[in-house]
């Protein structure tokens, strides 16, 4: 009944994922390759969480 008020966790994670990728892009453009690789690794973890959530809801 109140499912319209529930927040979509995938949507929130997608926003966070996009923000991390943009942050990584800026680090790479500034020449900070170490930060770029660390931020990209964080983005990959978020992408894995998104895939897990999507696969569990499709079953």
pTM of the model: 0.82
Query: Quick check: 16 and 24 in contact, CB under 8 A?
Result: no
Tell me what percent of the chain is helix, strand and coil, each rounded to the nearest 5. 85, 0, 15
Residues 6+ apart with CB under 8 A from 43: 17, 20, 21, 24
> pLDDT at residue 3 above 70?
no
Q: Tokens 């966070």: give the residue.
A: 16
The per-residue pLDDT for range 4-58, each reduced to its tens digit, is 667 788 999 999 999 999 999 999 999 999 999 999 999 999 999 999 999 988 7
Helix (H, G, I), strand (E, B) or coil at 38: helix
């Amino acid at each position: 009944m109140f499912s319209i008020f529930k927040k979509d966790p995938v949507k929130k994670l997608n926003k966070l994922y996009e923000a991390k990728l943009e942050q990584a892009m800026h680090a790479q453009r500034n020449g900070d390759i170490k930060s770029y690789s660390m931020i990209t690794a964080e983005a990959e973890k978020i992408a894995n969480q998104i895939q897990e959530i999507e696969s569990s809801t499709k079953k």
